[in-house]
Amino acid sequence: MTLELLRIDDRLIHGQVVVGWGQPCEIGFFVLVDDAIAGAAWEQELYRMGTPPEMAIEFVTVAQAVQGLARYQADPRVGMLLTGDIETMDRLTAASPSLRQVTIGGLHMKPGRVQRMRYVFLSPAEEARLQAMAARGLTVVAQDVPSAPVMSLDEVLRGDGTA
């Protein structure tokens, strides 16, 4: 098995991830990539508390994730890797050319962002960063839950928030 999904989601581990993806896809482990949470024991305990025992969580920095990638890919369980923002996923994928696709799962309303999809709000700087990631050869798509259609980056950036 391999990493089933590389997801950008400002809520990190939450209902959609644990129940929406975790149960139907039989996710066995999460890799939560966040430099701050990797050093915050209490935050880690909080995420563990909300996750079923059959789903393991590893908390790592970007550097640790790059180092651990081969191990994640070789893991017999189904895995999901999560970052809370585009910048973190950009740094990770730039350092890991074997990663080919990332999925925007949820980026919500903040000042300066424009709504592109029901669950995707982006600032001009974030849009430029996603385009730069795509120009590097990465496939960038959006999909919040398994039953939703997969939207291309072009479709996301053309969106007006209704899809």
* Binding residues vs other proteins (CB under 8 A): 10-11, 13-15, 17-19, 42, 46-47, 49-51, 108-110, 115, 121
Cα 36 from Cα 88, distance rounded (Å): 11
Structure-block tokens of residue 160:
């007006």
Which of 61, 60, 44, 57 minimizes the C-alpha distance to 18?
Answer: 57
CA distance 104 to 83: 10
User: Smallest gap, in angstroms, from Cβ of residue 66 to other proteins?
Assistant: 25
Smallest distance from the beta carbon of 94 to other proteins, in angstroms? 24
Q: Which is nearer to other proteins, 42 or 98 (CB)?
A: 42
CB of 139 to other proteins, least distance (A): 25
Nearer to other proteins, 99 or 151 (CB): 151
Distance, in Å, from the CA atom of 35 to the CA atom of 39, rounded to the nearest integer, reads 7
Give the residue with the Cβ less far from other proteins, 68 or 85: 85
